[in-house]
Structure 1
Amino acid sequence: MSAFIDKMRRRAGRYLDVRPVAVRPSRGTLSLSFDDIPESAWTEAGPVLDAHGVKATYYVCGGLERGINLGLRQFTTEHLQALFAAGHEVGCHTFGHVSTLTLSPAELEADLARNAAWVAERLDGHVMTTFAYPFGDCALTSKTVIDGRFLCGRGVRDGVNVGRADRALLQAIGLESRRLPGYDLEALVQQAADQKGWLIAYGHDVGDRPTPYGCTVADLDRLLTLAKAADLDIQPVARAWSRMA
C-alpha cells in the first residue's frame, strides 16, 4: 500500500498544481546537468565540456561532499570551486539528498536553507537559482516551496519542454546508461531545433564503466555533437531560463 501511495504522490506532483511558463527561446536550446556531483562528473566530464566550449549546471548536495553515493566517490570542495571558477552553474539538489516526498514544507525549507548557507560559504556568497529534485520525486506540497525559492525546478519526466512548461517541474531526459538505449537522441535534438524547444539532460557519473545512472565520455560527446549540428543554443539551466521568454 505504501508503494502505491508513493506512486500516486509522485504523479500528483507531476500533473497537479502546474505553474505554467512560456518556452519561447529564439532558437532551440540544450542544457546539460549533473546531479549529486560524483567526482567523475567533473574530472571526466569537465574536459569534454571544455573541448566543446560549453557550460553545464551542477546540482549539489552539501551533505554528499567527500562521501560515497551509489558506490562512487563524490565531489570535494576543491572540485566545486574549480567548476564554479570555470563558469559552470551551481544549482541546488537539497543538502541531504533527500526525496521531497519524505519532507514537510517546513522541513524542506530548512534543508534548502542549510544547503544555501553551505554553498555560499564555499563559493563567495553564491546564490543558487535553480533546483533539481533528488530521485525526481516531486511532492505536491514541495512545488510551492521550490517555486518561491528558485527560478525553476527540474524533474526527470522524459520530454522536450516546448511551448508551455511547468516551471516548478521541467521535463528532462536521462543521460544515463539505463535510459539512453530507449531514446532517439537525434529525434529529440531535432524536435528541440524544429519547435524551438528546451531539451534538458541530466546525468551523474561519467566514465568507461558508468553506473546505471551515468554515461560514458562518448555518450556525452555524442549529445553535444548532435546539438551543435542542429544549431542548438547550449547553456546552463539558469542562463537558458533567462532566454525563454
Structure 2
Amino acid sequence: MRTDWSSFKARVSNRLSRHFLATPLAWSGKEPMVSLTFDDIPDSAARVGAPMLEEYGARGTFYVSGSLLGQRSDHWRGADADDIIALRADGHEIACHTYSHRLTSDLDAAALAEEIELNRRFLEGLDSSIRLENFAHPYGVASVTRKSQLAGTFRSSRSILPGVNHGNIDLQFLRATPLVNQHLDDAGIECVFDETIKTGGWLIFYSHDVAATPSPYGCTPRLMRRVLDAAVQRKLPIVSVAEALRRADSAEIRAA
C-alpha cells in the first residue's frame, strides 16, 4: 500500500509535469487524427478490442508491462505471450509501460532505465521485430525529473489527463480521453470529436479491458464501437500512436 507521503509526492509531481514541456511540438496545420490505446494489457483488449479495430481497417497501441502478462488481477486476466505476438503480426503497435508497472515518480534514473530495459528485452524476446517507440506513464502519473529521461528514449509518453492534443503540446505528456464507461457517454464522445475537428487536433483514447461487463477502467464493445463510428462519420483516420507521429513528421516535411 502506498503511504500518504508517496501518494502526495506522486500527485504533486504529476501536476507539475503538465507545465514542464520536455519535448514541445507545435501541433497545428496537421491532419486531425484519432488513436485508441490500451494499457497493461487485459486479454480482452487483445482478443476483443484489437479485432474491432481491424474491422475498421484501424490499428491501436498497446502499452505492455511484461510482468503483468498472463497474470490475473482483481479485474481481468492479463494477455499472454501469444496475444502480444498476434497483435504485432496484425500490425498493432506494442508500446512500453514500466516492466513491473511501477510509477516513474517512485524510480530514480537508474531504476527507470532498468525497468525499461527489462521490458524491452522481454518483449523483443517474444518477437524480435518489436521496437518500443512510445511509453505510457503507469497509472497516468508522470514525474518531472523522469520526463527528460523518457524523452531520450521514447518518441512520446502518454498521460491520462483528458483533452485533445492541439496547439503547443508536450510529446512526453500526451493528453488522453478515457474510453471508460464510467467516464464517457454518447454526449461526451460528440464533445471530444467536435473539439478535435474544431482544433485540428489529435484525439487519443485510453482504456484497459473491453467486456460486456467491464472493470471500472474499461469499456463495453458498444462504447468502443460508438467511438469508432464517430471517427468514421467524421472521416478521421484511426491510427496507432507511432503512425500518428509519423504522419505529423511527414506534414512538417511537406510544409518545410
Give the structure 2 partner of residue 78 of structure 1. Answer: 82
SS across alignment from 2:18: helix
Give the structure 2 partner of residue 48 of structure 1. Answer: 52
Give the structure 2 partner of residue 187 of structure 1. Answer: 191
SS across alignment from 2:59: coil
2:20 aligns with one of 16, 21, 42: 16
2:173 aligns with one of 169, 193, 215: 169
Counterpart CA distance in 2 for 1:45 and 1:199 is 18
For residues 85-133 of structure 1, the C-alpha deviation after alignment (integer angstroms, 9 at most, x for no partner) is 0000000011111111211111001100110111111112421100111
The amino acid that maps onto 1:166 is D
Give the structure 2 partner of residue 99 of structure 1. Answer: 103
Counterpart CA distance in 2 for 1:27 and 1:100 is 32
Task: Give the percent of matched residue pairs that are identical in Structure 1 and Structure 2.
Answer: 33
Deviation at 1:177, TM superposition (A): 2.0
SS across alignment from 2:152: helix
Give the structure 2 partner of residue 34 of structure 1. Answer: 38
Deviation at 1:18, TM superposition (A): 4.3
Give the structure 2 partner of residue 61 of structure 1. Answer: 65
Deviation at 1:176, TM superposition (A): 1.1
For residues 50-109 of structure 1, the C-alpha deviation after alignment (integer angstroms, 9 at most, x for no partner) is 211110001111111111234311011001101110000000011111111211111001
Counterpart CA distance in 2 for 1:58 and 1:192 is 22
Q: Does 1:221 align with 2:210?
A: no
- Asked if the contact 1:27/1:193 (under 8 Å) is kept, the reply is no
Q: Does 1:212 align with 2:216?
A: yes
The answer for unaligned runs of 5 or more in structure 2 is none
SS across alignment from 1:113: helix
TM-score between the two structures when normalised by the length of structure 1: 0.95
- Asked if the contact 2:50/2:60 (under 8 Å) is kept, the reply is no
TM-score between the two structures when normalised by the length of structure 2: 0.91
The answer for unaligned runs of 5 or more in structure 1 is none
2:141 aligns with one of 132, 137, 151: 137
Deviation at 1:4, TM superposition (A): 3.3
User: Which range moves more in the overlay, 185-194 or 102-111?
Assistant: 185-194
Counterpart CA distance in 1 for 2:100 and 2:37 is 19
Deviation at 1:164, TM superposition (A): 1.4
Deviation at 1:139, TM superposition (A): 1.0
For residues 193-231 of structure 1, the C-alpha deviation after alignment (integer angstroms, 9 at most, x for no partner) is 232100000100001100010000001000010011111
Counterpart CA distance in 2 for 1:80 and 1:187 is 33
SS across alignment from 1:243: helix
Aligned CA RMSD, in angstroms, stands at 1.6
- Asked if the contact 2:10/2:143 (under 8 Å) is kept, the reply is no
Counterpart CA distance in 2 for 1:64 and 1:136 is 17
The amino acid that maps onto 2:83 is H
Counterpart CA distance in 2 for 1:72 and 1:99 is 20
Q: 1:207 to 1:117 in 2, by over 3 A?
A: same
Q: 1:102 to 1:21 in 2, by over 3 A?
A: same
State the number of aligned residues: 245
Counterpart CA distance in 2 for 1:183 and 1:134 is 28
